[in-house]
Structure 1
Amino acid sequence: MAGKYVEGEFNIHPMDQFKVEGLFNGGATPQGFADLFMITNQTLWIALTVLAIIGLMVLGSRGRANVPTRMQSVAELTYGFIYKMVEDVTGKDAVKYFPHIMTLFLFILFANLLALIPTSFSVTSHIAVTAVLALMVFVSVTVLGFVLNGVGFLSMFWPKDAPAALRPVLAIIELISYFVRPVSHSIRLGANLMAGHAVLKVFAGFAGALGLGAVFPIFAITAIYGLEVLVAVIQAYVFTILTCVYLKDALHPHH
């Protein structure tokens, strides 16, 4: 929504677009356990994200024509891109985990891109969503590391090549950095998306308030929107490649 000009001041509220509101109860905000199953704008756009993924990957590759359609080409290119990323970063023995990584990438990518539709809702701008994704990666990678390597998984925290006097200090630093991973993993994605959408809302407010004199805000919105499309793709890529790096640590803790 555009900002309004009230008593000499711009009445712009860029953070209002991130409010989680119920769809069928007058826009009330969920509060407590009683509203756990409330259908909200966030629920709607998560569902639309899933439907968009199904539309591309299932319907797009259903025909498997020798001369692929545009949708089939996009689906195949996306599949090949992520498959090669997993193989190059994590190794061939990690290909078995490709479906999990592919699902993460597609969900984040489509959630980011759908959030750029006017009047939509940005799912991945909420730390509650990105934290769940990051914790899923952290827990699954940690469990996998112990299952495959046993106590040997802890060797990744002990720098054998460092001087003996420094090893305990470096081990503590490595341990802290490991547990900070889900925090940085989630905040990086959520903060970048939130900042971009907030800036778009501010310039949209200026454009709505200035009326015919809104040439500069409109040009700024166009430029920022193009940048946000790039950010949406890059952040999905960064989240996914970091997942591959963490998975590599679980599969090869001694490297």
Structure 2
Amino acid sequence: MAAGAKVDPMHQFTIEPMFGTDHWSIAGHNIAFTNSALWMVIAAVALYAFMLGGMKRELVPGRWQMAVESFTGFIDNMLAANVGKEGRKYLPYVFSLFMFILFANILGLMPLGLVGVHPFTFTSHFTVTGILAILSFSIVLVVGFWKHGFHFFSLFVPHGTPLLMLPLIFLIELVSFMVRPFSLGLRLFVAMMAGHVLLEVLSSFVIGGTNAGLGFGVLVGIPSFVLMVAICALEILVAGIQAYVFALLTSLYINDAEHLH
């Protein structure tokens, strides 16, 4: 019985095709609609419903409207602090980025398995977080070259750099700049994946301890379950923090493109 209850902590990250497996392809590459794509759609629809319900513009706002306005004001203040008055035009993008990641992270933690639905945290895949990071990085490059032209390369030469050190410093700064999308996507991916793996491992302790008998259930199963509850609470906090960090770093990178700091 215990052997049949083994838990594979990596199975939850498996991308499985939903439909279109045999016929949907571009240039020989299969583009089947997967569970990852499904939960992206669910996150987008949930976010749209949340925003739609909170944009009534009532004179005396209700709780829903206040929640939407609070999130909007939060991102607006963050952009104002990090980018300045120029940050207002990036509000739609950074706000959408923050809310989409937040909803994706939270939905992946919902206990929907109790009703037979297994949520998929697509932000635990580097292909997804990497694309979001590349999108932000592309905006930085477009803004930087559009506004400053080739003077944008001065971003890689700190003020007061000795002439002799100029080539080396430029190379170091350039490599550091090019690594940004990788580190931006990796941070979110690792944080979400690690939390879900830990929860899955603890769940195997609960199942294994329960199947092993009353003694192991008390000594192993119960403490593991209590720890799972605590980790779940921590993961909710991490879900919000990681969405904020992603949006914050995006705003800082946009500031570099705007002001060449």
TM-score above 0.5: yes
Q: CA deviation at 1:170?
A: 1.3
Q: What is the match of residue 97 of structure 1?
A: 90
Q: Identity, % of aligned pairs?
A: 40
Distance in 2 separating the partners of 1:33 and 1:80: 45
Matched letter for residue 172 of structure 1:
L
Superposition pairs of residues 83-232 of structure 1, within 5 angstroms: 83-118=76-111, 119-211=118-210, 213=217, 214-232=221-239
Matched letter for residue 6 of structure 1:
A
Give the 3 Å change call, closer, same or farther, for CA 160–59 of structure 1 in structure 2: same
Q: Per-residue displacement from partner, 1:188-225 (whole Å, max 9, x unpaired)? A: 00011000000001101111222251111111100110
Is the Cα–Cα contact under 8 Å of residues 159 and 167 in structure 1 kept in the other structure?
no
Distance in 2 separating the partners of 1:150 and 1:39: 40
Q: CA deviation at 1:133?
A: 0.3
Is the Cα–Cα contact under 8 Å of residues 57 and 75 in structure 1 kept in the other structure?
yes
Q: Specify the SS of the correspondent of 2:10.
A: helix
Is the Cα–Cα contact under 8 Å of residues 39 and 120 in structure 2 kept in the other structure?
yes
Distance in 2 separating the partners of 1:23 and 1:45: 11
Most deviating of 174-183 and 201-210: 201-210
Is the Cα–Cα contact under 8 Å of residues 109 and 236 in structure 1 kept in the other structure?
yes
Matched letter for residue 96 of structure 2:
T
Give the 3 Å change call, closer, same or farther, for CA 244–25 of structure 1 in structure 2: closer
Q: Specify the SS of the correspondent of 1:14.
A: coil
Distance in 2 separating the partners of 1:234 and 1:202: 23
Is the Cα–Cα contact under 8 Å of residues 17 and 35 in structure 2 kept in the other structure?
yes
Most deviating of 152-161 and 230-239: 152-161
Q: What is the match of residue 115 of structure 2?
A: none
Q: What is the match of residue 234 of structure 1?
A: 241
Q: CA deviation at 1:163?
A: 2.5
Is the Cα–Cα contact under 8 Å of residues 18 and 33 in structure 2 kept in the other structure?
yes
Q: CA deviation at 1:64?
A: 2.2
Q: CA deviation at 1:145?
A: 0.3
More relative contact order, 1 or 2 (CA 8 Å, 6+ apart): 1
Distance in 1 separating the partners of 2:203 and 2:250: 35
Distance in 2 separating the partners of 1:215 and 1:25: 43
Q: Specify the SS of the correspondent of 2:2.
A: strand
Q: CA deviation at 1:24?
A: 4.2
Give the 3 Å change call, closer, same or farther, for CA 34–165 of structure 1 in structure 2: closer
Give the 3 Å change call, closer, same or farther, for CA 25–165 of structure 1 in structure 2: closer
Q: Residue 22 of structure 1: which of 17, 33, 37 is its match?
A: 17
Q: Specify the SS of the correspondent of 1:120.
A: coil
Q: What residue ranges of structure 2 are gaps of 5+ in the alignment?
A: 112-117
Is the Cα–Cα contact under 8 Å of residues 158 and 167 in structure 1 kept in the other structure?
yes
Q: Residue 2 of structure 2: which of 2, 5, 8 is its match?
A: 5
Matched letter for residue 5 of structure 1:
A
Is the Cα–Cα contact under 8 Å of residues 20 and 33 in structure 2 kept in the other structure?
no
Distance in 1 separating the partners of 2:49 and 2:36: 20
Q: What is the match of residue 114 of structure 2?
A: none
TM-score by length of 1: 0.90
How many residues were matched structurally? 243
Distance in 2 separating the partners of 1:125 and 1:250: 29
TM-score by length of 2: 0.88
Distance in 2 separating the partners of 1:92 and 1:24: 46
